[in-house]
Amino acid sequence: MHRIKTLTFTLVLTLLALPPGILAQDSMAGDWEIGVSVMGQQIPLVLHITKGEEAYEGKYDSPAQGGFDIPIRSITAEHPDFKMELETGGPPAILEGKHDGDTLKGSFTQATATGTFEGKRKVEGEETEGEGGR
């Protein structure tokens, strides 16, 4: 019995010593800084994704365009693949790609415009350029 308690205690200490987020690397929840390359332009976006009871949900910011807390219409994800529909006031912007740890990468489409995007998980305490009210 003493040996089981010792092993359990050792396991708990080991798990506590792991870097934050290491056990949830397949989770997309968090804040993400991405750059969308479309029609010769680079558009920075900040995604704010949470894990609801049944699915991911979220909002996004488009600092260069002065937009903040814009709804993400839908997020479907089965690690490592995902697809997001971003509200734009017109045809939705679609981000479709792969999630690998602290990176996102894939394709962007909105109506007839196509491009690519890539980004990384925002590190807590890090300031986003032009972040405005956040």
> pLDDT tens digits, residue range 46-81?
999 999 888 999 999 999 999 999 999 999 999 999
Mapping DSSP to helix (H, G, I), strand (E, B) and coil, where does residue 80 land? coil
CA angle 52, 56, 61 (to 5 degrees): 110
- Asked whether 46 and 33 are in contact (CB, 8 A), the reply is yes
Q: Is 21 left (phi over 0), alpha (psi -120 to 50) or beta?
A: left
Residue by residue, DSSP assigns 29-69 as: -EEEEEEEEETTEEEEEEEEEEE-SSSEEEEEEEGGGTEEE
Q: Which residues of the chain have pLDDT under 50?
A: 7-8, 10-16, 18-24, 128, 130-134
pTM as predicted = 0.74
DSSP 20: T
Delineate the domains of the chain, giving CATH numbers in brackets.
25-121 (2.40.128.120)
